[in-house]
Structures are given as structure tokens and as C-alpha cells.
Chain A
Amino acid sequence: MNHTRKFISDRVNAVPPSGIRKFFDMVIGMDDVISLGVGEPDFVTPWHIREACIYSLEKGFTSYTSNAGLLELREAVSDSFHRDYGVNYDPETQVLVTTGVSEAADLALRAVVNPGDEVIVHEPSYVSYKPGIVFSGGTPVIVSTIRENEFRLTGAQLEDAVTPKTKAIILSYPNNPTGAVMGKRDLEEVADVAVEHDLLVISDEVYDKLTYNGKHTCFSSLNGMDERTILLNGLSKSHAMTGLRVGYAMGSPDIISAMLLIHQYTMLCAPITSQMGAIEALNKGDSEMQAMVREYNRRRRLFVTGLNELGLDCFEPRGAFYAFPSVQSTGMTSSQFAEGLLNQQKVAVVPGDVFGESGAGFLRCSYASSLEELKTALERMEEFLG
């Protein structure tokens, strides 16, 4: 059926399939695999949230909601960001509920990018940003963050990447796949460049709650940044709600209404069942969330210590649930290591270069797995390194 290929648009053809796919196909059909390749919590959504979803179905909440999302949810979102970071977003005009953060990122790009506009993305980072920029007609400009700087983005790097065509910067901390975080000072460097060159910052902070031994700084809380920021967040990671698909975007009324325009003609609204669960999560989910965060933190310490003991150099990841060890000492490439480890010891990790060229020589290992699995994985890795 190859003759149908000609119908595919150039824009889509220009985007290669995700390198993750190949690993996924390898793992399928293998028994007894311990997978550290999963980019989502191993916890099931807390029961009180699932119960709120079920209850909403029982009561017959199965219709569309307003395009921007249930007002009660937008109010809960606005309140939680005010409480956590002191930022102010009007639930009526500055908050948009989306079908996961992925949709919010897509809307943000499509709302602001003109053909030929450049958007700066730091890598290694989540796999969707670059294709998202291409789909919206823009040109991705990659800035590679490095291990020596704990995969933080610097003002100087940004400065080098800016051209007259630059429209926006995508910022994603705490970071998938590296587990890196950016402190207030680090973020201020980004803010300075944004002001200097009049750029917009799309800040995906979906891992904000998973910050260890320190406090997350919300980018739009920086002086003068609220106007310049499209803040993206959601409940997937903090409340283990990945499959329920609830995210939100916050920003200036102009930008949010531009995003809403696309959203209303494409997605219409986020699923109402999930929105009802999200209200419950935001209003009553703190203690279960904190228990999960404490648990991740313990696994993080155990796992990162374990990796370093194996000689796989790993800086201390202070966010998300990923460790990003280097395999340089083994003489193998990321893919050789990951394939060997999977075939010989049945432990699945993701080669770092899936997340950008600068991830070459590293592995993404998710520690969102039980302690038992993490310990077994470390033992098997030790065997593999023999």
C-alpha cells in the first residue's frame, strides 16, 4: 500500500518516529522484564480521585464542559498556583484546561508560531517539543545542556542561540529525561535573555511537585515574567493521573484566548470525567501526593547511590523520577548498553540519545518502580557489567 504514502504531508514526513518506539517493540513479548523505561508513575491514581470520577459518572456527568474547562476546576487550578507560588491567574480568562499537558504544549506552539519562526528547545528533553514546533510550522533551534552543568540551561547558551527570528523558548524543568532542576538564579538568566530579546517562554512544569530537597521555582513567578510566560502543568505526574489526560495552560488573557480558539475547534474540551477527578485531586489530594513524593525521594536516593556504586556516573537528579547515568566508563554507546542490558539481563532502560543528540552516552532510568524492582534491576546491571 506504499502508494498512499504520497498523500502524507511534507511537514509530517519531516519528523522521524520516536526512537522510543524501537525499544518498546523489543520489550513487547519478553517475559520477566524489569522496566525502568516508563515515563509515568507506578502508583495507580489515588482511590479518592478515581472514586470522584466514578461518582461523577453515576450522577450523569457525561456531557461536554465549557471549552476552557469546568470553572470549578479552573478556580482550583488558579488557587493552587497562588498558594504554591504566589502567582495570580484569573480563572475566567487566564486558565485553560486541556487534554493533558501535551495538548497544552501543542496549543501554545500553534497559537504563537508563524512559519519560519524559531523556537529554542534545550535537549535532552521530552520527545514532543521538537516535532511540536515542526508541526506548527516553526523551526526548532536546539541548545544542548551538558552533564558538567547538571543539564541546566544557561543564559549564555541561550544568548548564542537567539537570532532575529527567535520567537519563543521552551523550558522544561524539572526535566525529563535528566531529572535536572533549575533554581531561581538559573531561571533568572533565562528571564533576562527573554526580556532582552522580547521572547516568549513556554514553561512546562509538569514535574514541579516532584522536586526533592528544595523548592521548585515557578518561572512565571519571576519578576516581570507573568506576561511573557505560558505556564503548562497538569496532574499526570503529581497525582499519578497520566491516562486521565488533564493538563492546563496559564498565561495572559490574549494568549490563553488564542489557545482556546484552537482548542475549541479541535479538542472541544477535556474529558469531563477526568476534570471531575482533577477537582478532587487539587482540593483534597495533597496528603496522598506528598506520600508519593516521599516514596520517590527514597527510591531516588537508593537508586542513584546504586548506579554510582556500579561505576555509572550519575549526578544527583533533584526532580522528576529519572536518573540519567553516563555509560562512558563502559566504552559502550547508549544503545549498545540498553540493548545489551535488555537482551542479557532483561532490564529495560531508554538510551539517552532518544531525547536529543546531547543525551548520547547516557541512559534514562525511571525510578518510578517498586523498591524491590529497583534493587533487582541494580543487581542485574551489576551482572551485566560483570
Chain B
Amino acid sequence: MNEILEIIEQDPKIDPAEIAKLIGQSETEVRSRIKELEDSGIIRKYKAVIDWDKVGEEYLYAIIELKISLGDRLGYDEIARRIANFNEVRSVRLISGDHDFSLTVRGRSMKDVAFFVAEKIATLDQVQSTVTHFVLKTYKEDGVTLFEKEKSKRLAITP
């Protein structure tokens, strides 16, 4: 089970027939396992990591830290849900340390992101303060490094 997940995490595009060969099970077996994993929500989504900088698309990312004061009405989970519902928000994490939440927000411009934070996030009752860090460059995303690929340095034939 975990082996299938490890393979799919590395290569979401992989054909179940190939997974079957890699782990020594039948294709039918693999297909039904994958279906179980999808149905139970263990596999959430098949996703591509895209280097948008290379495309030349003007996306701006920011990491926003929030301090929360919990009222008697809403807990962290409920607040997180309200924040996560915005399309601009790419990730929401409860964190330890000086702040309570860390968000990743994507917008088209600095203004775009700044307004979003000012209008939609800072205005929430429970949000006490926000700190915005604009991302200047991304080097690694979701375990994938975005540097230029390097050629293998092995000799072609060795004993």
C-alpha cells in the first residue's frame, strides 16, 4: 500500500500497469488499490509542480503569518477553514512559535496580494496581526528542486 503511494508521489502520471510491474503485483490488484486510496481520501489529488518563473507568468507568492486570538466561538480548525476557502490561499498551516498560522498566498501582483491580506484576512475578527513576506525566488517546491538539471558524472562503463 505505502509502496504504491511512494511511487505515485514521485510520479503521479505513472500507469497502473507499470506500478504493477514495479511492485510485482497484478494490474487489476493495483487498480483496485488505487481506487481504494482515492475513495478513502488518502490520495487527495494528482498534482504537477510547475516552475512558473520559467514560463514568465507573473505570479507573486507571499508567506503570511497570523496571530490569532481565540474567542469562545471558533477554534483553530474553524478559523483555518474560513481562510482556506479563499482561492488565493495555497496553503494553511498551524504552527508553533510567535505566530499561529502560516499561509501561502498567490496573487498577480504585490498590490493584489497586499489588498487580499488587508481586506480578507486582516479583517477577520480573530486575526490579531499579520506579517507578510513576499517570496522573491523559489528554489525548491514540494520536494522538487528547481535548479537546472545536472548531467550524470558517472563513467559509461565500470566494473
Contact = CB atoms under 8 A, between A and B. Distances in A.
Real binding pair: yes
Contacts of B156: 24, 27-28, 33, 35, 37-38, 348
Contacts of B157: 20, 23-24, 27, 35, 37-38, 348, 350
Given A298-B23, A302-B22, A42 B154 contact: yes
A184 interface: no
Nearest to A177: B159
Interface of B: 3, 6-7, 18, 21-24, 152, 154-159
Contact of B159 (A18, A302, A306): A18
Contacts of B154: 35, 38, 40, 42
Contacts of A40: 154, 158
B159 A128 contact: yes
Interface of A: 18, 20, 23-24, 27-28, 33, 35, 37-40, 42, 126-128, 176, 294, 298-299, 301-302, 305-306, 348, 350, 371
A42 B152 contact: yes
Main secondary structure of the interface of A (DSSP, over half): mixed
Contacts of B21: 301-302, 305-306
Contacts of B159: 18, 20, 39, 126-128, 176
15 contacts: A18-B159, A20-B159, A24-B156, A24-B157, A24-B158, A33-B156, A35-B156, A37-B156, A38-B155, A40-B154, A298-B3, A298-B7, A301-B24, A302-B22, A348-B156
A306 B155 CA distance: 25
A320 to B, nearest CB: 13
A39 B18 CA distance: 25
Nearest to B152: A42
A371 B14 CA distance: 11
A28 B156 CA distance: 8
Contacts of B24: 301
Contacts of A18: 159
Contacts of A299: 22
- 9 cross-chain pairs, A with B, having the tightest CB-CB distances, nearest first: A298-B22, A37-B157, A24-B157, A27-B156, A35-B156, A302-B21, A39-B158, A127-B159, A301-B24
Q: Which of B6, B21, B23, B159 is packed against the most chain A CB atoms within 10 Å?
A: B159
Given A24-B158, A38-B155, 20 more contacts: A20-B158, A20-B159, A24-B155, A28-B156, A35-B157, A38-B154, A40-B154, A40-B158, A42-B154, A127-B159, A176-B159, A294-B6, A298-B3, A298-B23, A299-B22, A301-B24, A302-B21, A302-B22, A305-B21, A306-B21
B50 to A, nearest CB: 20
Most chain B CB neighbours (cut-off 10 Å) among A33, A126, A301, A350 = A301
Task: Determine which residue in A27, A35, A42 has the highest number of CB atoms from chain B within 10 A of its CB, and name it.
Answer: A35
Contacts of B3: 294, 298
Contacts of A306: 21
A350 B159 CA distance: 9
